[in-house]
């Protein structure tokens, strides 16, 4: 009886046994050939026969069986807080590219805080994982991850985290420092900070760098800090609060492009021109920042490079090497949303 047919008539998936039978060799030979471990152990002619049989049957190795046997899966989990952000999409793309180069696959896990509903990234990753690459996680989500006992590389996160094999960060502090220097150089002295209402390293870093740089300039001060959820609406409400305060700030330094877009809307509603009456800065350089008018002065983060470097570090850790951390450079992109403060 043909093992590729079942009682119900549903064609069963061919196994390496089927391939072996068709090629007239043992299962072992099939495995050797298909895994490219045959050189000097199987004759070239036989190897070709095996490949042909596999092709003819449409054979695909059962990955569950392979994983079980090998004890590893050549699969990494990439955890991101939000799917709908270009930044994380690029991080993923970079990580997946490097993983593929090394014969690794990648499973994406959008963490619950961002979007998904699954409470446990390990409950249903479809199989065992070899390692985890996690980006920009808030503290609680991070703790859940550390519990997995897998090699973990963090992106855009606390550098000294003891649970991580390595950390790959953009130079957030430098990005905010450049932003602050840019508006201070333009002459601004009354700054407001529109801060993301998220407890994570990356946003603490922004707040600290802004405070430090502002303190270096005599007469300059952060006259107001408004926390906002990461949405246009959140930025709008926070900016309205900041812009109706007395004295009114002359620049809104925002933790994220999406908040800055909200700030532009707030200014317009209040009849303030940007940058004539008030300047606005963003952070991330997403497509949003050039979608609006005026286009946003913002900080470009090396998203793809972070995914790539992070995956390299994870693969190194999986080989048992000490994974190198990294701090990647960022760039300030000056656009039309910033200018000199109004006279007086």
Partner DNA sequence: CTGAAAGCGCTTACAG
Identify what 258 binds: DNA, a copy of itself, none; CB under 5 to 8 Å per kind.
Answer: a copy of itself
Which residues ranging from 53 to 72 are in contact with DNA (CB under 7 A)? 59, 61-62, 65-66, 68-71
Burial of 124 (0-12, 13-18, 19+ CB in 10 A): exposed
Instruction: Draw the binding track, 231-270, toward a copy of itself (x: CB under 8 A; -: no contact).
Output: xx-------------------------x--x--xx--x--
Q: Is the dihedral of CA 194, 199, 200, 205 positive or negative?
A: positive
Q: Is the dihedral of CA 195, 198, 201, 202 positive or negative?
A: negative
| Pairing of β 326-328 and β 166-170 | parallel
By the 8 A CB rule, do 332 and 178 touch?
Answer: yes
User: How far is 185 from 340, CA to CA, in rounded Å?
Assistant: 9
- Sole binder of a copy of itself in the list 35, 291, 321, 324 (CB under 8 A): 291
- The CB-of-22 to DNA minimum distance in angstroms stands at 12
Residue among 128, 148, 131 nearest 312 (CA): 131
Q: Is the dihedral of CA 288, 291, 296, 302 positive or negative?
A: positive
- Sole binder of a copy of itself in the list 57, 83, 186, 207 (CB under 8 A): 83
- The CB-of-250 to a copy of itself minimum distance in angstroms stands at 22
- Sole binder of a copy of itself in the list 41, 60, 143, 273 (CB under 8 A): 60
**Residue 20 or residue 106: which is nearer to a copy of itself going by CB?**
106
Q: Position of tokens 């900080």?
A: 299
Question: Binding segment for a copy of itself among 100-108, 188-196, 273-281, 310-318 (CB under 8 A)?
Answer: 100-108
Q: Does 260 bind DNA (CB under 7 A)?
A: no
Identify what 92 binds: a copy of itself, DNA, none; CB under 5 to 8 Å per kind.
Answer: a copy of itself
Q: Does 93 bind a copy of itself (CB under 8 A)?
A: yes
Q: Does 27 bind DNA (CB under 7 A)?
A: yes
By the 8 A CB rule, do 210 and 253 touch?
Answer: yes
User: How far is 119 from 142, CA to CA, in rounded Å?
Assistant: 13
Structure tokens at 282: 């963003």
List of residues contacting a copy of itself (CB under 8 A): 13, 58, 60, 62-65, 67-68, 73-75, 82-86, 88-90, 92-93, 96-97, 100, 104-108, 110, 115-118, 122-129, 149, 231-232, 258, 261, 264-265, 268, 287-288, 290-293
């Amino acid at each position: 009886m043909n093992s590729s047919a079942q009682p119900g008539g549903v064609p069963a998936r061919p196994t390496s046994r089927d391939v072996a039978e068709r090629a007239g060799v043992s299962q072992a030979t099939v495995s050797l050939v298909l895994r490219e471990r045959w050189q000097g152990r199987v004759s070239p002619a036989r190897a070709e026969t095996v490949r042909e049989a596999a092709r003819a049957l449409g054979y695909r190795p059962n990955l569950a069986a392979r994983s079980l046997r090998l004890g590893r899966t050549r699969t990494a989990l990439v955890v991101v807080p939000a799917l709908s952000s270009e930044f994380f999409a690029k991080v993923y793309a970079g990580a997946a590219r490097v993983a593929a180069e090394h014969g690794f696959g990648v499973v994406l896990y959008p963490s619950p805080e961002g979007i998904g509903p699954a409470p446990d990234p390990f409950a249903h990753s479809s199989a065992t994982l070899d390692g985890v690459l996690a980006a920009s996680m808030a503290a609680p989500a991070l703790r859940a991850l550390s519990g997995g006992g897998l090699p973990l590389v963090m992106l855009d996160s606390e550098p000294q985290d003891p649970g991580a094999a390595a950390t790959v960060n953009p130079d957030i502090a430098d990005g905010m420092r450049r932003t602050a220097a840019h508006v201070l150089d333009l002459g601004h002295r009354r700054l407001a900070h529109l801060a993301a209402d998220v407890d994570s390293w990356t946003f603490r870093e922004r707040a600290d760098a802004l405070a430090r740089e502002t303190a270096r300039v005599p007469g300059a001060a952060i006259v107001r800090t408004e926390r906002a959820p990461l949405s246009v609406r959140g930025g709008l409400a926070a900016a309205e609060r900041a812009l109706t305060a007395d004295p009114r700030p002359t620049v809104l330094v925002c933790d994220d492009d999406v908040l800055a877009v909200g700030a532009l809307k707030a200014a317009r509603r209040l009849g303030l021109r940007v940058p004539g009456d008030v300047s606005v800065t963003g952070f991330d350089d997403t497509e949003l920042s050039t979608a609006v008018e005026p286009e946003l002065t913002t900080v470009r983060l090396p998203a793809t490079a972070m995914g790539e470097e992070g995956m390299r570090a994870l693969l190194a850790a999986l080989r048992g090497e000490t994974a190198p951390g990294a701090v990647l450079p960022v760039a300030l992109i000056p656009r039309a949303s910033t200018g000199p403060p109004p006279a007086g």
